Structure 1
């Protein structure tokens, strides 16, 4: 389907059918990317404990850059999709160029700062002195190439805003596949290629990002989705600044909201640590299980916003409401089925991820309770995405703050005081229930206001 036809169908095709058409390719892309990330960690672990620990110390830094890229992608999708819905394709095409250029400039600036301050940053993160050479090897290349990380992300957002979710999914999957192929070759060496160790893992990532850049630029050019010419004969610099501001107005709060999650999880880990190493290990397993169980939620959070933004731009608030409610019903039903499957297989899951009985018992306790809240968590995440899609990014940021730091962490801690780990897990589910209720009521109220 041509890009223009795909874009028009977002405001004319049956909502449920269109949402499914847009979501299933993203499910494939997200699931593939997660599986390749597991492969990446596996190959690094074969190098030994120190290289794995060194890469673990880089996660807060790399996640900061990735969060910025994700936020800019959210801003890009919301701005461009609304322009398509308002029948302003020329503005949407120039916005695509502005988004790509401003995201590259921001990430490049962040990379330069990170490179120059590498030693103090990782000292502040309590990295041991013996790990610093390994961290420097990995991050020097990572900082050099991370501009090529943000470009495919923002380019994919431009494609999704035009109604194309299949191509971005293929780009995600191909990037993960390239990384999985180059990882063992560059880390351990092959034929004339010398073993590069941890530096090879970073180079494999850069190569996969570069392939993504080439693919995204070719697709955007072929579909004529990016233009260097401002609409309506406006001055180039003034139009670029205006467009960049629109993207950043949504992108920066979205990036901030993304950064709150690992911060909250760090606090939760500290609370769980009071119950000993088996509890921490089990909580880590639970977090990985959560990411796998939430693939459909993540996919819907990428496919729903363009559908909402275009209909919002076309002033079809009835279709916005229908898309939002359809996504919520779907995620609640699907996550209920996933919970039942996890419940039935809890014993085997625990045995697969835990060698010690103490860890396995806590993993099973986690599975019995926490996935009850995954559907509710999906409601919160999709409401967050929907707020960004209707250009209310501060609502999305506040919803994240309420969920994580006013409800989830405090109620989990209170539960732990009342009933140890069982209470902690129940507290998390109750927090998700309360936040999901707030989210639904809040977004529905905003839509009623738009109708008025």
Structure 2
């Protein structure tokens, strides 16, 4: 898609809508794993829960590489430097592969001490080893398609990338019960079956994404790269990838710490916090899709030096985020309490959920403003501005406000902490991204 020529608002919607389904499928992918593993037993579910920090850390690193690749590729596309596009795409995939090799080696060699440190006992450790001994080598099927889909999105093609993710999610849902519990001649593999289902589904995404890059977009260069070319590409990837990965790690880490604070307030509080977090993840899908779609639009137009189009995209995306926020605030404040019993019927849990729906959803639009600013900064090759904005939101604002709010106002204070931090970070993010765009417009 020629993101430097097509109507901005229409293009943004055309990219965000299929992206929403892709994000939905990723969330569904994780929920399906949790559901089927939970049916094996609570011991297996506890073991898998302990793998989440390691899986999240690696996924954050891989997503950092994908973000970096998408940024530099989209800017090269904007400049119409198609030879460089092929070189950058190929070097991004090679870099992702090298990253996997390093992580697989480290992961397999440090499995025992790492998971002991995370709290695994003698009962959980064998289950974790069964799962991770398959998952670690399968990381190649996580990192390469992430980088590949990032390059596809750089073209403005969110539809193909989303279809790949959706087919992978459906494949995983089909394979999970078959490989975990067995079917016909296929034996029951338990936790190993869950790992194999994930690896097979992810393998499809790798084959599909690389196939699309080569056959549809001709974005791969199979010539053996010169050392100077590869190093130049990898420097660009690291410049954006390291801070982007750091930003990806900060948010789940801050949420884990806030969960620990809430846990001190009782089982009902932590149950309500967990339920509303799940509902929130679905409510934010469209805003996440809009912010993700901004990356290729800003990147291509920044490469083409079409700053006016970036301004239009920024204004359009923020308007969409605010309208969606108003819609979700109305829907959840009026009907959200009916969703709570689907997860937990305890009256206090339902009551706390209803309180959350009255406070937090109205701030989703401002969270969207911060996400849009971060995506735009990365696309413009300014990753440290994006990371600083995440630190400001989650570390400077959110965590201290959660601590103080919980101490003086209980769960109501926790919910207001989320809303206020979203509000302030969104306004600050909008101010700084607008200033950065104006600076380039003047120059």
TM-score (norm 1): 0.95
2:93 alignment partner, one of 79, 96, 100? 100
| CA distances 1:257-307 after superposition (whole Å, capped 9, x unpaired) | 000011101110121112111101111111111111110122122211001
Q: Does 1:197 pair with 2:190? A: yes
Contact 2:291–2:317 (CA<8 Å) still a contact in 1?
no
C-alpha separation in 2, matches of 1:30 and 1:432: 21
Alignment match, 2:22: 29
Q: Secondary structure of 1:38's partner?
A: helix
Task: Say whether 1:340 aligns with 2:330.
Answer: yes
Q: Is the 8 A contact 1:65 1:107 kept in 2?
A: no
Report the counterpart of residue 439 of structure 1 in structure 2.
429
- Out of 200, 222, 226, the residue aligned to residue 228 of structure 1 is 222
**1:423 and 2:413 equivalent?**
yes
Answering whether residue 239 of structure 2 is matched by residue 249 of structure 1, we say yes
The CA distance in 1 between the partners of 2:409 and 2:205, in whole Å, is: 49
Partner SS state of residue 123, structure 2: helix
Q: Would you identify which runs of 4 or more consecutive aligned residues in structure 1 move more than 3 Å?
A: none
Distance 1:427 1:341 in 2: 21
Please give the residue correspondences for 1:370-449 in structure 2 after superposition, counting only pairs within 5 Å: 370-449=360-439
Is structure 2 residue 80 aligned with structure 1 residue 87? yes
Root-mean-square deviation (CA), in Å? 1.2
Instruction: Report if the CA contact (8 A) 1:94-1:229 is conserved.
Output: no
Instruction: Give 2:204's aligned residue.
Output: 211
The 8 Å contact of residues 100 and 155 in structure 1, kept in 2 or not, is answered as yes
Equivalent-residue separation in structure 2 for 1:429 and 1:228 (angstroms): 49
Partner Cα distance (1:52, 1:243) in 2: 41
Query: Within 2, Cα distance between the matches of 1:214 and 1:429?
Result: 41
Consecutive unaligned residues of structure 1, counting only runs of 5 or more, are 1-5
- State the TM-score, normalizing by the size of structure 2: 0.97
> Is 2:138 the partner of 1:145?
yes
Q: Could you tell me how far 1:23 is from its partner in structure 2?
A: 1.3
Q: How does 1:34-433 map to 2 (within 5 A)?
A: 34-223=27-216, 224-229=218-223, 236-433=226-423
**In 2, are the aligned partners of 1:81 and 1:310 still within 8 Å (CA)?**
yes
Asked if the contact 2:4/2:297 (under 8 Å) is kept, the reply is yes
Displacement of 1:229 in angstroms is 4.2
CA contact (8 A) 2:328 2:362 kept: no
Provide the C-alpha distance between the structure 1 equivalents of 2:377 and 2:108, rounded to a whole number of angstroms: 35
Taking the aligned partners of 1:39 and 1:403, their CA distance within structure 2 comes to 31
- The answer (yes or no) to whether the contact 1:11–1:307 under 8 Å persists in 2 is yes
| 1:372 Cα offset (Å) | 2.1
Question: How many residues are paired up?
Answer: 441
Q: Distance in 2 between matches of 1:418 and 1:217?
A: 53
What is the CA-CA distance between 1:314 and the residue it aligns to? Answer: 0.5
Moved more, 286-295 or 417-426: 417-426
- Asked if the contact 1:25–1:169 (Cα under 8 Å) also holds between the matched residues in 2, the reply is yes
Following TM superposition, by how much is the alpha carbon of 1:63 offset from its aligned partner in structure 2, in angstroms?
0.5
Residue pair 1:178, 1:208 contacting (<8 A) in 2 also: yes
Unaligned runs of 5+ in 2: none
CA displacement at 1:86 relative to structure 2: 1.0
1:129 aligned counterpart, secondary structure: coil
On the 8 A contact 1:409/1:428 being kept in 2, the answer is: no
Deviations 1:40-78 (A, max 9, x none): 211111001000000000000001111111111110110
Moved more, 25-34 or 205-214: 25-34
Q: Distance in 2 between matches of 1:253 and 1:18?
A: 28
CA distance in 1, matches of 2:133, 2:345: 36
